[in-house]
Structure 1
């Protein structure tokens, strides 16, 4: 007797982009679309934003995360999409969020400056924002 085991390779992807002046309603639309689409693809993650940057972490099956990132890169609501990290993971940092959201506009410019962040600093920033309860 043979047993077939299906192993889903989980991945974590972190990127930043320039926010395309979408405004508060645009952010809510992005979140609604992400939460709806991510649920069906088993993607979890978080989006942090201020009035200039998006910083996002996506976690889930490698193929689904890759497809989502390619769609994001084509989305006109932001530009300068820059990959910070893409790695295999054994567990998720944001398992309970189809797409969490954190408004980082209250942070000073040095505390939330995605282009200057390493991958570990970006993840630390996202975890720190989550810990403060600054979620939507």
Structure 2
């Protein structure tokens, strides 16, 4: 807004100092003077303005945080246990052969009794 007012004031002053122009009498020269005055006025206004003061806080650039390294936990992949069962061992007891005692057919033992026979005593000629 200030700039617009300054330019308008400069143009007005430039026009006020110009002598009256007649139609057909150096129109282009008059137009050039007006434009030159407007450019000079705008340049002066821009040069005389104070430097704007920034009320914003300064921008602080922090270094980026260190990268986060995520290492996955080791996964123990073990094959399923292989169960090798030995073939069953069949232990058979030794065969027991039962034989009855042999029957021996033998004649019954004879008892040999030696009997001593005494001679008969003869008594008076009689035997008893």
Structures share a fold, TM > 0.5? no
Task: Tell which structure's C-alpha radius of gyration is larger.
Answer: 2
> Shorter-chain TM-score: which interval?
under 0.3
Q: Which structure: greater helix fraction?
A: 1
Q: Give the number of the structure with larger relative contact order, counting CA–CA contacts within 8 Å between residues 6 or more apart.
A: 1
* TM-score w.r.t. length of structure 2: 0.19
